[in-house]
Structure 1
């Protein structure tokens, strides 16, 4: 699992990504306006090029891009909800989470988070596909001066799915982030997906505990893969689960990937 929210390069497909991310999931349940008509196209930063747009559940669309000045194998992901860009993350060739930038709503400062040097057990995409399992243990530093530690694993389940013509292999993940005193800041567990050729994680169904002991369901699974020249490429307009009437799951609320503290 690597960034989908402010942590690992997908969990982080929740936080990764998706942990990732992986996911800063909290607050504002169903607080999303109806989707507006018309596509909003997003331009990557100067020197960078978008290579894929992914429409996902939980009212999120992601633009994946690479930048000429980055190390070979580095990839970026920019996540959007109905209000626009809320999260960016960079991973390396091993899908090791390198940095993330979380946009603050309401005029607050943005928060940047980095991978600390010399992780005890670096995340390794190569190890995952070679052995079927990869553990990780690394430290994080934030622009507000805070630090934390992430531990967990990703494991191939042996199952695969095809989504919009793209073959994905399912993974199981477990992720815990703690503060320097050992207090749990957040936990996440569930399923994600990988694509070997792209060397990417994608979010899946799971649940997240924000340190209060309550597990919140979330599903950021991909639904469409859009490539250059196809309609919807480079859009910043999410398509799915943006209507409050259809955003829940039976028996429990579904937190959107942009719902955060």
Structure 2
């Protein structure tokens, strides 16, 4: 837990946050930058002190850093930090039905039922399923397997916080989920989201580790109610 806290603090305090290149903590190495729709850029990286298979991701918008998270080799969510709302979430020990990318790739479907724990907001239960559609979509020369998903988030008292359904992508080589399109239903009203990737950028290429999102920036998303980053499907968990 201490190591995760140090990574969060070093990212937030990085002097390069306002520059053109995003600076990772010492001992960490990025392997992929993704420029996506909805004015977002994300960087995927590993850190030498982490357990084998653990991957980290940061996401940035026009307003700066929006998300920091980690997943394991099975793409199971482990931890998240949301700078705008200043809260952290941690996966519970021994989930009832852990999310599993291996199961999804092997059988074509994977259900999950787990809780996240947070000192700031309490626990949240996530119940849902991912299914492979059988469709392979190529974006920027990268072949991605399309999924369809449905997910519902519940509060401690069992009330529904939000639900969502749509399509995302998985990449077996990188062992990560990648954003797609969907409809999110919150108490205010449903709204559509589009987090599809546009560009995949690798070490040494122009734009790698860019701190500046490129696509759909400056757009007025009048159809989306005011929600926190927590209220999105598991590509942001």
- TM-score, with normalisation over the residues of structure 1? 0.77
CA RMSD, Structure 1 to Structure 2 (Å): 2.1
What is the aligned partner in structure 1 of residue 161 from structure 2? 185
Determine the C-alpha separation between the residues in 1 that align with 2:136 and 2:227. Answer: 23
* Richer in strand (by share): 2
What is the aligned partner in structure 2 of residue 88 from structure 1? 68
> 2:215 aligned to 214, 225, 240, which one?
240
- Deviating runs (4+, > 4 A) in structure 1? 254-261
Residue segments in structure 1 that go unaligned for 5+ positions in a row: 1-37
Residue 150 (1) aligns with residue 130 (2): no
SS at match of 1:128: helix
> 1:119 aligned to 95, 99, 109, which one?
95
Higher relative CO (Cα under 8 Å, sequence separation at least 6) belongs to 1
SS at match of 1:203: strand
* Richer in helix (by share): 2
**Contact 2:146/2:169 (8 A) holds in 1:** yes
**Contact 1:219/1:254 (8 A) holds in 2:** no
Residue 48 (1) aligns with residue 18 (2): no
* Structure 1 residues 64 and 255: alpha-carbon distance in aligned structure 2, compared to 1, 3 A threshold: farther
Determine the C-alpha separation between the residues in 1 that align with 2:225 and 2:161. Answer: 17
| Displacement after TM superposition at 1:69 (Å) | 1.3
Determine the C-alpha separation between the residues in 1 that align with 2:228 and 2:19. Answer: 19
Q: Number of residues paired by the alignment?
A: 214
> 1:67 aligned to 40, 47, 54, which one?
47
* Structure 1 residues 191 and 82: alpha-carbon distance in aligned structure 2, compared to 1, 3 A threshold: same
Residue segments in structure 2 that go unaligned for 5+ positions in a row: 1-17, 232-237
* Structure 1 residues 98 and 219: alpha-carbon distance in aligned structure 2, compared to 1, 3 A threshold: same
- TM-score, with normalisation over the residues of structure 2? 0.85
**Contact 1:206/1:219 (8 A) holds in 2:** yes
What is the aligned partner in structure 1 of residue 138 from structure 2? 162
What is the aligned partner in structure 2 of residue 78 from structure 1? 58
What is the aligned partner in structure 1 of residue 190 from structure 2? 215
